[in-house]
Amino acid sequence: MASAALQKDRRYSSEVRHIAFLKVHKCASSTMLNIFYRFGYKRGLNFVLPIKSNYLDMIHKKGVISVVPPPAMSGYDILCNHVTKFNKQLFSRYLPPDTKYIAIVREPFKRMYSAFHYYRNVLHYPILRNVRGVDPFKTYLNNITSLETLWGDHSFTNNKMARDFGFPTEEYKNISKFKTYLGTLDKHFHLVMVSEMFLESLVLLRRLLKWSIEDVIFLTINVHEHKNLTTDTSSENIEPFLALDRILYDHYLTRLKEQIDAQGPDFHKELQYFKDVNSKASDLCSANNTTNKLLSFRANEWHDDFTITLQDCDLLSKKEITFLNLVRDKQTERVKTYGANISYFQ
**94 Cα distance to chain centroid:** 18
Residues 225-284: pLDDT tens digits?
555 555 555 567 788 899 999 999 999 999 999 999 999 889 999 999 999 999 999 999
With CA atoms as reference, report the closest residue to 17 among 42, 45, 38, 37.
Answer: 45
Three-state SS at 317: coil
Q: Is the dihedral of CA 68, 72, 75, 78 positive or negative?
A: negative
Return the SS3 of 69: coil
Please state, as a whole number, how many other Cβ atoms lie within 10 Å of the Cβ of residue 149: 10
For residues 331 and 51, give the distance between their C-alpha atoms in angstroms, rounded to a whole number. 11
DSSP assigned state of 303:
B
Residues 6+ apart with CB under 8 A from 202: 193, 216, 218, 274
* Residue 264, phi-psi category: left (phi > 0), alpha (psi -120 to 50), beta (remainder): left
Q: Give residue-wise pLDDT tens across range 326-341.
A: 999 999 999 999 999 9
Partnered with residue 104 across adjacent β-strands are 193
- Per-residue pLDDT at 227: 55
CA pair distance 37, 26, nearest whole angstrom: 18
Distance from C-alpha of 241 to C-alpha of 231, rounded to nearest angstrom: 15
Helix (H), strand (E), coil (C) string for 162-189: HHHCCCCHHHCCCHHHHHHHHHHHHHHC
Of 102, 126, 77, 121, nearest to 194 by C-alpha is 102
Residue 224 pLDDT: 54
Residue 243 host element (H or E)? helix 243-261
Round to whole Å and give the CA distance between 307 and 214: 9
Count of other CB atoms within 10 angstroms of residue 337: 9
With a CB cutoff of 8 Å and minimum separation 6, the contacts of 48 are 56, 67, 68, 76, 78, 79, 81, 94, 95
Specify the pLDDT at position 120.
87
For 288, 305, 306, the CA distances from 295, given in Å and listed in that order, are 15, 11, 8
Low-confidence ranges of the chain (pLDDT < 70): 1-13, 60-63, 221-235
**β-bridge partners, 340:** 71
State the DSSP H helix or E strand holding residue 16, giving kind and residue range, or none if neither.
none
Q: How far apart are CA 101 and CA 7, in angstroms?
A: 27
Rounded CA-CA distance 32/9 in Å is 25
- Please report the pLDDT score of residue 262 as a whole number: 96
307 φ/ψ angles, rounded to the nearest 5 degrees: -130, 135
What single-letter amino acid sits at 152?
Answer: G
The pLDDT assigned to 10 comes to 47
The answer to whether 297 touches 277, Cβ cutoff 8 Å, is: yes
127: three-class secondary structure by DSSP: helix
Average pLDDT, the chain: 89
Q: Which pLDDT score is estimated for 83?
A: 92
φ, ψ for residue 285, nearest 5 deg: -85, 0
Q: How many H helices and E strands in the chain?
A: 15, 10
- Specify the pLDDT at position 231: 54
Kindly report the pTM of this predicted structure.
0.91
The pLDDT, as a whole number, for residue 232 is: 56
pLDDT at 233: 54
Write the CA distances from 310 to 16, 21, 256, 314, 330, integer angstroms. Answer: 26, 27, 34, 6, 21
Q: Which amino acid is at 294?
A: L
